[in-house]
Homo-oligomer: A and B are copies of this chain.
Amino acid sequence: MILHGYWRSSASYRVRIALGLKGVSFEQVTHDLRTSAHKSADYGFINPQHLVPALETDDGTSLIQSPAILEWLEERYPSPPLLPETSYDRAIVRTMAAMIGCDIHPLNNLRVLASLKTDLHAQQHQVDAWTARWISEGFSALETLLERHSGEFAFGNAPTLADCYIVPQVYSARRFNVDLSPFPLVQKIDGTAALLPAFAAAHPMAQPDADKS
């Protein structure tokens, strides 16, 4: 299996975590978003959106969009499960995932922040405030769900898809210097997850294409 990604891409990071938790081995092909390497015609055939990640599976198909890849992984590699058993519980986990995947991350990714600067002439402090606003609003609602449903992890005491979204979003929030003190459970879960080998191996700084300068 080949994961097309980029070390600092939040959506690639989610998939790396899930592959690790499932014990699925994979190779990585990196696409340097800063130099627009993902905009090549060759990659466009794999991913017409020219975004990362994309997963080339062992049966020769290509999957894109991390929410779809994660559900595919759950269906094809059901053990260990990353969704709980009942439909209601599964909905809670998917809600936490969507809070990040639909309401935080899309507003803070590279192409959107670049557009704020280029097209709307936003200054850096305005971009920082924009980023902090969506992360803080989203984490605030997430914290409420964590109060209701978390244990050692976001939902109960084993990692789920929710943790695959939370940990990369926390990493991103720290990069943007967002104050995480109002979100103790988000921070606690991030800390618990960091102790698991699958999360550690998926960390951006552990990737071969990481820029350590």
What chain B residues lie within 8 Å of A81 (beta carbons)? none
* A102-B106, A103-B106, A144-B48 known; A95 vs B130 contact (CB < 8 Å): no
The proximity string for A residues 105-139 relative to B, scoring 1 for CB distances below 8 Å and 0 otherwise, is: 11100001001100110100010011001000110
Q: Which residues of B contact A68 (CB under 8 A)?
A: 91-92, 94-95, 97-98
Q: Which residues of B contact A137 (CB under 8 A)?
A: 49
A69 at the interface (CB under 8 A from B): yes
- A53 nearest CB across to chain B (Å): 12
On chain B, the residues within 8 Å of A72 by CB distance are 87-88, 90-91, 94
- A179 interface hit (Cβ, 8 Å): no
Contact of A63 with B76 at beta-carbon distance under 8 Å, contacts A122-B120, A145-B48 already known: no
User: Contact between B49 and A102 (Cβ–Cβ < 8 Å)?
Assistant: no
Partner among B92, B99, B101, B107 whose Cβ is within 8 Å of the Cβ of A107:
B107
CA distance A181 to B137 in the complex (A): 36
Q: Is the CB of A119 within 8 A of B115?
A: no
Contact among B75, B138, B144 for A90, CB-based, below 8 A: B75
10 nearest A-B pairs in the assembled complex, by CB-CB distance: A68-B94, A106-B106, A48-B144, A65-B98, A49-B141, A72-B91, A68-B95, A75-B87, A65-B95, A48-B141
What are 16 A-B pairs with beta-carbon distances under 8 A?
A48-B140, A48-B144, A49-B141, A50-B141, A51-B103, A65-B95, A67-B94, A67-B102, A71-B90, A71-B94, A76-B87, A101-B102, A103-B106, A107-B107, A120-B120, A120-B130
Question: Which residues in A have some Cβ–Cβ distance to B below 8 Å?
Answer: 48-51, 61, 63-69, 71-72, 75-76, 87-88, 90-92, 94-95, 97-99, 101-103, 105-107, 112, 115-116, 119-120, 122, 126, 129-130, 133, 137-138, 140-141, 144-145
